[in-house]
């Protein structure tokens, strides 16, 4: 018994925010953003839309694409760093919105690596034989949590809102060369760098109050990042773990048909391609259109690649991600 991705869906809120729009708010420029990151535009939600709302739309599409009835889903894994509320996890809100009944819900907090961590968990639950169809969602509403003034421009220009979902289903494999299945996933973390990319507040580790006026005045409720350090670690760790998981799967990098990397920065992805000697044309990027949607980037990329006819059934996919924690992960699957 193995697992495979039987359905894919994504949802991006309709409001487009261009780099020129950000110029009006953040003392930045289209040229700076495009040169440093490759981002041209991103999507932002309206005030009435939450992370679970985006996840709902993506999930419905993934369920339709898998050609299953939603009652067949026996577990939800929800990856996000921008939950509807601190608790309970956003997966419970999604379960209720989808009307799924009392199925297992697991929220995971691995940020940009969240989708691949979730894929690994889903794969293991399916292989155990206890679950048949797992809904794995990555969804983020970043726009409500960014400092949209010049003070926050270093981080504020990078992120966008969106959701991607897949259905991970069980399958009996007789031919690994043609049949869709997940071959391997590899997951890593190094908490020594936890404060290199983080959201300091609200916090139980910074005094008597979880949230104080001082924290607000200092902007500690906005994400903070040491961009250079993230860049150095991301390129090294993504390439190392991707190469490792491809080898473990019995393939060489040249055998991979398409690479779906996390979309933090076009330069990170081009550097990973360069380090591994990957043909850039095999790396499918969406960052130019959607910015960094954290846990949602890989399923959104997968959905876009399928719709553009770039990712076809039977292809071998190599995926890698790096994010806050630091956490990083890689996976190989046949679609």
- Contact window for ligand ACO (CB under 6 A) among 99-107, 119-127, 161-169, 224-232: 224-232
Smallest separation, CB 122 to ligand ACO (Å): 22
Instruction: Identify the residue among 230, 287, 311, 330 touching ligand ACO (CB under 6 A).
Output: 230
Q: Which residue numbers are catalytic?
A: 112, 262, 292
Pick out residues in 49-108 that bind ligand ACO (CB under 6 A): none
- Contact window for ligand ACO (CB under 6 A) among 127-135, 226-234, 237-245, 303-311: 226-234
Smallest separation, CB 201 to ligand ACO (Å): 19
Q: How far apart are CA 286 and CA 314, in angstroms?
A: 22
Backbone angles phi, psi at 50, to 5 degrees: -115, 175
Q: Is residue 24 close enough to count as binding ligand ACO by CB under 6 A? A: no
Q: Is 108 exposed, middle or buried (0-12, 13-18, 19+ CB in 10 A)?
A: buried
Omega before 309 cis (within 30°)? no
Name the nearest CA neighbour of 226 among 329, 123, 324, 98. 324
In the bound state with ligand ACO, the residue whose beta carbon lies nearer, of 52 and 111, is 111
- Contact window for ligand ACO (CB under 6 A) among 51-59, 200-208, 221-229, 307-315: 221-229
**Is residue 114 within 8 Å of residue 81, measured between CB atoms?**
yes
Q: Is residue 153 close enough to count as binding ligand ACO by CB under 6 A? A: yes
Q: Is residue 242 close enough to count as binding ligand ACO by CB under 6 A? A: no
Q: Is residue 241 close enough to count as binding ligand ACO by CB under 6 A? A: no
Tokens representing residue 13 in the block: 């809120």
Tokens representing residue 10 in the block: 């994504």
Q: Is residue 154 close enough to count as binding ligand ACO by CB under 6 A? A: yes
Name the nearest CA neighbour of 266 among 245, 235, 295, 236. 235
In the bound state with ligand ACO, the residue whose beta carbon lies nearer, of 59 and 235, is 235
**Is residue 132 within 8 Å of residue 74, measured between CB atoms?**
yes
Q: Is residue 157 close enough to count as binding ligand ACO by CB under 6 A? A: yes
Name the nearest CA neighbour of 160 among 283, 294, 302. 294
**Is residue 13 within 8 Å of residue 54, measured between CB atoms?**
yes
Of how many residues is the chain composed? 335
Name the nearest CA neighbour of 81 among 245, 329, 294. 294
Q: Is residue 152 close enough to count as binding ligand ACO by CB under 6 A? A: no
In the bound state with ligand ACO, the residue whose beta carbon lies nearer, of 7 and 38, is 38
In the bound state with ligand ACO, the residue whose beta carbon lies nearer, of 134 and 266, is 266
Q: How far apart are CA 315 and CA 195, in angstroms?
A: 38
Instruction: Identify the residue among 292, 293, 319, 331 touching ligand ACO (CB under 6 A).
Output: 292
Binding mask 182-211 for ligand ACO (x = CB under 6 A): ---------------x--------------
Q: How far apart are CA 293 and CA 112, in angstroms?
A: 8
> In the sheet that 104-108 helps form, which strands lie side by side, from edge to edge?
2-11, 162-171, 133-140, 75-79, 104-108
Instruction: Identify the residue among 261, 322, 333, 335 touching ligand ACO (CB under 6 A).
Output: 322
Binding site for ligand ACO (CB under 6 A): 28-29, 32, 36-37, 112, 153-154, 157-158, 197, 225, 227-228, 230-231, 234, 264-265, 267, 292, 322-323
């Amino acid at each position: 018994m193995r697992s495979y991705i039987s359905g894919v869906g994504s949802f991006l809120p309709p409001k487009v925010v261009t780099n020129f729009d950000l110029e009006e708010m953040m003392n930045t420029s289209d040229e700076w953003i495009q040169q440093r990151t490759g981002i041209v535009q991103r999507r932002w939600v309206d005030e009435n839309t939450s992370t679970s709302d985006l996840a709902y739309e993506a999930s419905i599409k993934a369920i339709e694409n898998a050609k299953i009835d939603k009652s067949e889903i026996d577990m939800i894994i929800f990856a996000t760093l921008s939950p509807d509320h601190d608790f309970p996890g956003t997966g419970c809100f999604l379960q209720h919105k989808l009307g799924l009944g009392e199925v297992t819900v697991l929220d995971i907090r691995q940020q940009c690596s969240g989708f691949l961590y979730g894929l690994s968990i889903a794969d293991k639950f399916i292989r155990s034989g206890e679950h048949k169809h797992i809904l794995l969602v990555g969804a983020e509403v970043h726009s409500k949590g960014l400092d949209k003034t010049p003070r926050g421009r270093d981080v504020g220009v990078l992120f966008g809102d969106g959701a991607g979902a897949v259905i991970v289903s069980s399958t009996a494999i007789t031919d690994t060369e043609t049949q869709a299945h997940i071959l391997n996933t590899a997951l890593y973390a190094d908490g020594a760098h936890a404060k290199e990319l983080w959201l300091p507040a609200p916090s139980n580790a910074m005094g008597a109050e979880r949230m104080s006026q001082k924290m607000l005045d200092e902007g500690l409720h906005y994400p903070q990042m040491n961009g250079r350090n993230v860049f150095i670690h991301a390129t090294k760790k993504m390439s190392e773990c991707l190469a490792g998981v491809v080898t473990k799967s019995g393939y060489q990098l040249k055998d991979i048909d398409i690479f779906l990397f996390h979309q933090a920065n076009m330069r990170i992805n081009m550097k990973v391609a360069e380090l591994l000697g990957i043909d850039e044309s095999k790396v499918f990027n969406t960052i130019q259109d959607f910015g960094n949607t954290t846990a949602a980037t890989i399923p959104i990329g997968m959905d876009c690649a399928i719709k553009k006819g770039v990712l076809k059934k039977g292809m071998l996919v190599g995926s890698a991600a790096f994010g806050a924690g630091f956490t990083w992960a890689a996976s190989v699957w046949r679609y």
